[in-house]
Amino acid sequence: MNGHREPHESPGPITSTAGGAAWETSVRPHLSGAARAADGQSHDRPHPSGPAAGPAAGTVVEEEAARWRRLSGRSPWASGVKSLVVAAGAGAGLVRFLMGRDWTAGGIVAACAGAAVLIVAALVAYDLLRLRATRWRLTPDRLELRSGLTTRQHRSIPRDRVRSVDLRADPVHRMFGLTVVKVGTGEHAGDGDEVALDPLDRHEAEALRRTLLRQEERAAAAREEGPVAELRWSWVRYAPLSVWTFTGAAVVLGALYKGLETVGLKRFTTRIAAGLWEWVVAQPLLAVPLLLALNLLVGVLGAGLLFAESWARYRLEREPGRLRLRRGLLTARSLTLEERRLRGVEINEPLLLRLGGGARIRSIATGLGKSSGDETEDAAALTPPMPRALALQVAATIAGTPLPVTGPAPSDSQAGAPLPVTGTTLPFAGPVPSHGPDGLPGGGAEGPASPDGLPGGGAGGPAAPAGLAGHPGAALRRRVVRAGVAAVVAVAAAAVAELTAPWAWVGGWVWTAPVAVLVLGLWHAVVSAGNLGHALGSRHLIARRGAVVRRTVALDRAGIAGWTVTESFFQRRAGLLTVSATTAAGRGHYEVVDVGRADGLELAAQAVPGLLDPFLTREAPSTRP
């Protein structure tokens, strides 16, 4: 594999991987718009050498199967560049320290240079030693990795257990054509779960991915289907719809202030802060709106940049048996998720995004949460924020079946929305007795519970859009009562504050707090109750909840590993209960909250036929009018 040192000059077997590596070879930090467009095209049509490339790529790795191989020899260069950051930080600290000791400028420069050389040399040397100590190989059965300077480790994954191959290349890695490969088995087994090859040659990494996932012969066919979703830059308008837009700039400023302080520029920052404060005090009418506007501007800009870095070149593809997600402007990421690990999708709508008509899709998969715990970003995210209608479409595509949540975007179930009441036409809506006679003769999954034949859910009002059945009015009453209790507590706290606070100005203003609590509480109660909903798809159990962040979960019914039904004292009096489906994937349990007792139990019984049925008590319809 020496040829990998100069991949572009060597015509050997490496070029045959071009079909798979196309996007990565054209991916550079200085990528222009035209190049990006060309890059996009190379995906849309099957690469000419695609079908031939696949098997050949496999053999590249396969040929040398039994041989122990090294990681990429260019890794020390990348470590060298990265260590400059550490060296710069250490240099700054050193400058500050030596300035305090009255060193001359020349002495300081010399000391800094010495320290920098030392640090870079040490880190590069460490990386060289690490490379020397690390070997990996791919046998016909297993992927093996020997590593460790002081503690020798030997990790071995059976190839048929490989569930994910994630590629990741940060900007420095990409400068040197390197990629970090993480091979996971998708089990929560802890340490032995993942083998990381840090780093491999870009082409070698791609070839390894293709070999491990055995997609060679099918890759070309998959390409023609087109992607499940692909970035449109207009989605950037959803990026600022987050709390961070309003707080992010202030947070960054605070961190910067602290950071400059530690580097020894405290006098400087203090002077700026003092000047700013004087200005605000002198001209509050001008300064405050201006600062707020500036904060917002920085926030919007930051959100846009973050969106670009995370989601540029976003592309979600369905390959046979798996989903492949590629994204990232500076750091290129490629995640492959086996579909047999997938147990459903979650449609995520935080308040601001929801008001803006957007939504995000997250996957519900087994063994996903822990494996990427070192990364700050959400490993389950499948899409950037995108228009809601499109998100629902993508969710249905990923789920492989139409989900009853699809339909016209609801009016966000805002205040005043009529709640589902007795007698709605939806099979699951309304309190217990309303559908006794007409209800559920079949009992099977395809009985009247299947919402496909429902008339759009219009009868349920905005609370039950497109097939989702709303929950009984008692669910709203519970939430209103809770808001009332919170308000009473706030009133009591305000009274105490007024009586005991030593400042006179507290007197009037303190009473705004209970009012705010009451208003917010009522808003939360109404929206939360309105957002409650559930349905049974042909393959999925769908449950929706949440006021601030609305989550619509479509959980594969085959992935349900049990039920937990809870009924609190107050729920019992209101005829409600909470049905929780436990599963091996995602958060481990997904609830249908505050559903009518009979509806909830019937839903659970039909979602997994035969499981709950033996434990239900039923009443013959003849006993009811």
Partner 1 sequence: MSVTGLRPPRNRADRRAVPWWTVQWLILMVPVAGAAVAAYWFLTERPVWLGGVVAVFALGCLTLAVVAPRAAYRVERWEVTDQAVYTRKGLLTHTWQVAPMSRIQRVDTARGPVQRLFGLADVTVTTASSAGAVKIEALDHEVAAELAERLTARTQATPGDAT
Nearer to partner 1, 68 or 615 (CB): 615
Three-state SS for 9?
A: coil
- Torsion angles phi and psi, residue 127, rounded to 5: -65, -40
User: Which CB atom, from 54 or from 420, has the smaller least distance to partner 1?
Assistant: 420
Residue with tokens 């055995």: 214
Region of 54-62, 293-301, 344-352, 429-437 interacting with partner 1 (CB under 8 A): 429-437
Residue 605 in contact with partner 1, rule: CB under 8 A: yes
Q: Residues 6 or more apart from 154 whose CB is under 8 A from it?
A: 144, 145, 146
Find the shortest distance in angstroms from Cβ 182 to partner 1: 21
- The distance of closest approach from Cβ of residue 566 to partner 1 in the complex, given in angstroms and rounded to an integer, is 5
The one-character DSSP state at 369 is T
Spell out the residues 6+ positions from residue 550 whose beta carbon is closer than 8 angstroms to its own. 348, 349, 350, 351, 354, 531, 544
**From 61, 563, 576, 607, residue interacting with partner 1 (rule: CB under 8 A):** 563
Q: Tell me, what DSSP letter sits at residue 431?
A: -
Contact 619, 378 (CB under 8 A): no
Q: Which of 589, 592, 594, 595 binds partner 1 (CB under 8 A)?
A: 589
Among 294, 562, 573, 609, binds partner 1 (CB under 8 A): 562
- Least CB distance from residue 572 to partner 1, whole Å? 7
Residue selected from 601, 607, 609, 625 as contacting partner 1 according to rule CB under 8 A: 601
Residue 119, phi then psi, degrees to nearest 5 = -65, -50
Partners of 138 in the β-ladder: 143
Tokens of 350: 């935080």
User: Taking CB under 8 A as the criterion, which residues in 237-296 touch partner 1?
Assistant: none
Q: Rule CB under 8 A: is residue 572 a binding residue for partner 1?
A: yes
Site size toward partner 1 (CB under 8 A) is: 42
Min CB(374)–partner 1 separation in Å: 20
- Which of 439, 447, 458, 484 forms a contact with partner 1 (CB under 8 A)? 439
| Stretch 14-53: interaction string toward partner 1, x if CB under 8 A | ----------------------------------------
Please, what is the minimum distance in Å from the beta carbon of residue 589 to partner 1?
4
Nearer CB in complex with partner 1: 148/621: 621
Rule CB under 8 A: which of 333-372 touch partner 1?
A: 366
Least distance from C-beta 440 to partner 1, angstroms?
A: 8
The interface region with partner 1, picked from 140-148, 198-206, 507-515, 555-563 by CB under 8 A, is 555-563
Residue 353 corresponds to which tokens in the numbers above? 């995004």
Q: Which stretch binds partner 1 (CB under 8 A): 119-127, 401-409, 509-517, 584-592?
A: 584-592
SS (H, E, C) 386-398: EEHHHHHHHHHHH
Please, which of residues 449-508 interact with partner 1 by CB under 8 A? none
Closest separation in Å from C-beta 554 to partner 1 = 17
- What DSSP state is assigned to residue 6? S
Pairing relationship of beta strands 322-327 and 315-319 according to DSSP bridges: antiparallel
CA separation for the pair 471, 549 (Å, rounded)? 18
Q: Does 615 bind partner 1 (CB under 8 A)?
A: yes
Contacting residue, 98, 409, 491, 584, with partner 1 by CB under 8 A? 584
Answer whether 229's CB lies under 8 Å from 383's CB.
Answer: yes
- Report the alpha-carbon distance of residue 292 to residue 271 in Å, rounded: 21
Given 440, 464, 476, 486, the residue binding partner 1 (CB under 8 A) = 440
Q: How far is the CB of 610 from partner 1 (least distance, A)?
A: 7
Of residues 615, 592, 574, 580, the one with CA closest to residue 477: 574
Residue 182 lies near partner 1 (rule: CB under 8 A): no
Residue 306 or 379 with smaller CB distance to partner 1: 379
Tell me the sheet residues that pair with 596. Answer: 576
In contact, 555 and 344? CB cutoff 8 Å: yes
Closer to partner 1 by CB, 140 or 190: give it.
190
Q: Please give the angle made by the CA atoms of 172, 175 and 180, to the nearest 5 degrees.
A: 60
Distance CA 599, CA 430 (A): 8
Considering only residues 500, 503, 569, 625, which one is a binding residue for partner 1 as defined by CB under 8 A? 569
> Counting contacts by CB under 8 A, is residue 588 touching partner 1?
yes
585 near partner 1, judged by CB under 8 A? yes
Span from 123-131, 165-173, 320-328, 432-440 in contact with partner 1 (CB under 8 A): 432-440
Site for partner 1 in 139-168 (CB under 8 A): none
Residue closer to partner 1 (CB basis): 147 or 580: 580
Instruction: Indicate the residue among 127 and 602 with the shorter CB distance to partner 1.
Output: 602
The answer to whether residue 436 forms part of the interface with partner 1 (CB under 8 A) is: yes
424 binds partner 1 (CB under 8 A): no
CA 333 from centroid of its chain's CA atoms: 13
Q: How crowded is residue 48: how many other Cβ atoms within 10 Å of its Cβ?
A: 10
Q: Which of 100, 106, 190, 610 binds partner 1 (CB under 8 A)?
A: 610
Between CA 35 and CA 125 the distance in angstroms is: 37
Using CB under 8 A, which of 44, 225, 582, 609 touches partner 1? Answer: 582
Least distance between partner 1 and beta carbon 166 (Å): 20
Of 130, 155, 129, 123, nearest to 142 by C-alpha is 155
Helix (H, G, I), strand (E, B) or coil at 227: coil
CB of 568 to partner 1, least distance (A): 4
Which residues, listed in sequence order, are joined to residue 183 by a DSSP beta bridge?
165, 195
* Strands across the sheet containing 142-147: 135-138, 142-147, 153-158
Cβ neighbours for 199, distance < 8 A, ≥ 6 positions apart: 71, 72, 75, 78, 169, 173, 178, 179, 180, 181, 205
Residue 608 lies near partner 1 (rule: CB under 8 A)? yes
DSSP letter assigned to residue 183: E
* Nearest distance, CB of residue 367 and partner 1, angstroms: 9
User: Is it true that the peptide bond before 7 is cis, omega within 30 degrees of 0?
Assistant: no
CA angle 114, 102, 274 (to 5 degrees): 105
What are the strands, taking DSSP E only, across 422-539? 533-536
Residue closer to partner 1 (CB basis): 188 or 232: 188
Residue 193 within binding range of partner 1, rule CB under 8 A: no
Q: Which one of 245-253, 376-384, 451-459, 557-565 is the stretch in contact with partner 1 (CB under 8 A)?
A: 557-565
In the complex, the residues that contact partner 1 under the rule CB under 8 A are 366, 432, 435-436, 439-440, 559, 561-569, 572, 580, 582-585, 588-589, 597-598, 601-602, 605, 608, 610-612, 614-621, 624
